[in-house]
Structure 1
Amino acid sequence: MAGTLQFDLVSPERRLASVAATEVQIPGADGDLTAMEGHAPTITTLRPGILRAVGASGVKAFVVTGGFAEITAAGVSVLAERAVPLEEANAALFESLTAEAREAAAAIEDKDVGDKLVADMAALRAATGL
């Protein structure tokens, strides 16, 4: 049986999780990754996506818009720009997130980066089925 690692997720608004997990699936900026006990120390930035922590009590899923994850052999700490439990996500939330992404895109001089922000938000919404 797989060992466990400590998973902690916080956002500026609140602490969302502090649980033992067998694996944590992370939407990294350079690609998705899965952290398990014994993982090599890593720090990665997050892209908008769904973060999942798998443990004895099942899967806890969260919508994240960005932030950082620190992975060690014994744990994963995520500092999210914004995070919401997947069961609390709704169409109104995604309308708000998309509007924020469009505003941020308009303020960025690099059109490709701005377009990617909006595309990432659309992909996140599609992944949740909302």
Structure 2
Amino acid sequence: MADTLQFDLVSPERRLASVQATEVQIPGADGDLTAMAGHAPTITTLRPGVLRVVHAGGTDDYIVIGGFADINHGGVSVLAEKALPKGEMTQDVFDAMIAEAREAHNKAKEFWHNEPGPVDDAAKLISDMVAIGGHIGLTPKDN
């Protein structure tokens, strides 16, 4: 297939994808980007979001939380802290991820007195998770 690049997505738990893609839409920490054949070599950290892969067989969406993407002449490798296919993101899984983010925020508030950086980062994770839910039709349960 012309104008494709190798795409690989792995998380600590498993390899989620290894396909020839025409484009990979990446939720970068400094802004979203689309990698295609011939893209300039780039390394970016990931923000929580939806990573979309377009290939000959269709389009696949993955939920990614943290990690980084390495774009080079050979393709795109994404190493995610957490990742799962969009179809596996059930309300129960989403609620568990939100609860984990809220717990991290509470721990940051306890540990980092008068240092807003880590507390703000933990709060941003909650906000990003809620945004992912909104994007895929899930709403966090109230706590």
1:116 pairs, out of 124, 128, 131, with 124
Instruction: Provide the aligned length of Structure 1 versus Structure 2.
Output: 130
Distance 1:33 1:22 in 2: 14
The Cα shift of 1:117 comes to 1.2
**TM-score where L is the length of structure 1:** 0.95
Structure 1, unaligned stretches of length 5 or more?
A: none
Residue 51 of structure 1: aligned partner: 51
Instruction: Give the match's secondary structure for 1:99.
Output: helix
| Per-residue CA distance 1:61-111 (angstroms, 9 max, x = gap) | 101111110001220000011111011111111101101111122233323
- Runs of 4+ off more than 4 Å: none
**TM-score where L is the length of structure 2:** 0.86
Distance 2:85 2:4 in 1: 21
Distance 2:124 2:51 in 1: 19
The Cα shift of 1:25 comes to 0.2
Larger radius of gyration: 2
Distance 1:85 1:114 in 2: 24
Structure 2, unaligned stretches of length 5 or more?
A: 139-143
Q: Structure 1 residues 22, 65: CA separation in 2 closer, same or farther (over 3 Å shift)?
A: same
Structure in which a larger fraction of residues adopt strand: 1
Percentage of matched positions with identical amino acids: 63
